[in-house]
Amino acid sequence: MKARQPLHDHLCLASLLVLLGAVASPLGAQTPAADRLEELPTTAEARQRLYEEVDREVAALQRQGTLLKRVIRLVTPTVVHIEAEKSSSPDVRFSRRSVEEAGSGVVIRHGNGDYVLTNRHVINDSLLGQIKIKLADGRIINPKQVWTDRGTDVAIMEINAENLVAARLGDSDNLEIGDFVLAVGSPFGLSHSVTYGIISAKGRRDLKLGDGSVKYQNFLQTDAAINPGNSGGPLLNLRGEVIGINTAIASSSGGSEGIGFSIPIKMVMTIASQLIEQGNVVRAYLGVRLDSRFDAQRAAAVGLPRPTGALVSAVTPSSPAANADLRQGDVVMSVNNVPVEDDGHLVNLVSLTAVGETVNLLVFRKGTTLAVKVRVGKREDFEPE
């Protein structure tokens, strides 16, 4: 999926070889070859010595590089290529035409079943028989059942085949900006392509994606090359664990420009587990209306030095927020010790909380901070999706 506006703030990994070279040279010591770079080797003996020094340095570099090769061998059997045929009919007066979406996915095991994680937009509007999953060993299968969630662009497909290899899931909460990552997928139909980069940013929201239906956003940003066809494929850490599902790019050309977005795996599995176990996603509800125009002037009016957190403009009667005595004018500063950046962030944090869970809020009210416990409810009980 392509974001409508290019976004910036990404880091480049052009220094990978320099980094590995530094690792290969203990304590950052300058190599013998580097000591004599200015000496042009003209004699056979000098050139032979230089070749031997280069061979030693390359051998050390290759020993570091085997880590990536081992990780790739681990994860390749878990990644699948997906082709989904869809029927498109812009006008019912004309004949329907068939279009095809290509993407990627990753095999996981949940309970006693095998499933493929991918993006909703890869398989949306396709019947089971129109979705072809190509496994790493070349077998092509159809899913037994498909569930999707419009609000997060997550999809999960139940599959049945012998000798499936499931991926190991990592902890996306522990990621830091600068962590090395791998993206595996099928850009432009080239299955099992691998790209390498870092986490460039976390918590990206308010991206304008597709038809605007992806309301709940908390994207990881990476400079690992992600192109059309990578959608639904895994983002992995250097332990070979899935820490995200690649979903979108910000691009003016339609190709990778070093700004890709992945859904954190914790968020993906929160949605996927509900889809598998109950067939739909039940979103938690707090019961507050928030001021999207919370700026420096409004922050000063309530006694804050800058606009941080989410300003409550109204409280729904009989809602969890009302029962916990949240009030108009309160500023929700954190949820379970996670600082709230703005109103959209609070909506995301609550929506991805389990219904019935008690959350700890830090609330700023009239110059003081209060600890408030709220048992979140079920959104459908108070307002339609």
pLDDT tens, residue order, the chain (385 aa): 666 444 433 333 334 444 444 444 443 444 454 454 556 777 898 889 999 999 999 988 887 778 888 899 999 999 999 999 876 544 433 334 445 678 999 999 999 999 999 999 999 989 999 999 999 999 999 999 999 999 999 999 999 999 999 999 999 989 999 999 999 988 777 778 889 899 999 988 877 776 777 888 889 999 988 887 888 999 999 999 999 999 877 655 565 567 889 999 999 999 999 999 999 998 899 999 999 899 999 999 999 999 999 999 999 999 999 999 999 999 999 999 989 988 888 988 898 888 899 999 999 999 999 999 999 998 878 776 5
- Contact of 202 with 226, CB cutoff 8 Å: no
- Contact of 123 with 137, CB cutoff 8 Å: no
Give the domains, in start order, of the chain with CATH numbers.
1-13+76-87+99-280 (2.40.10.120), 284-381 (2.30.42.10)
pLDDT at 21: 44
pLDDT at 20: 42
- Contact of 329 with 302, CB cutoff 8 Å: yes
- φ, ψ for residue 99, nearest 5 deg: -125, 160
* Residues acting as catalytic residues: 121, 153, 231
Distance CA 122, CA 128 (A): 13
Q: Is 150 exposed, middle or buried (0-12, 13-18, 19+ CB in 10 A)?
A: middle
Q: Is 130 exposed, middle or buried (0-12, 13-18, 19+ CB in 10 A)?
A: middle
pLDDT at 234: 95
- φ, ψ for residue 112, nearest 5 deg: -105, 10
Give residue 378's identity as a one-letter amino acid code. Answer: K
Give residue 1's identity as a one-letter amino acid code. Answer: M
If you ran DSSP here, which 8-state letter would residue 213 be given?
-
- φ, ψ for residue 27, nearest 5 deg: 60, 25
Kindly report whether the global pTM for this prediction surpasses the value 0.95.
no
Q: How many CB atoms lie within 10 A of CB 328?
A: 12
Distance CA 177, CA 197 (A): 11
Give residue 106's identity as a one-letter amino acid code. Answer: V
Q: Is 192 exposed, middle or buried (0-12, 13-18, 19+ CB in 10 A)?
A: middle
pLDDT at 163: 93
Distance CA 191, CA 189 (A): 6
3-class DSSP state for residue 153?
coil
If you ran DSSP here, which 8-state letter would residue 174 be given?
G
- Report residue 249 as tokens: 């790019």
In 286-356, which ranges are E strands? Answer: 288-290, 310-315, 331-335, 338-339
pLDDT at 92: 38
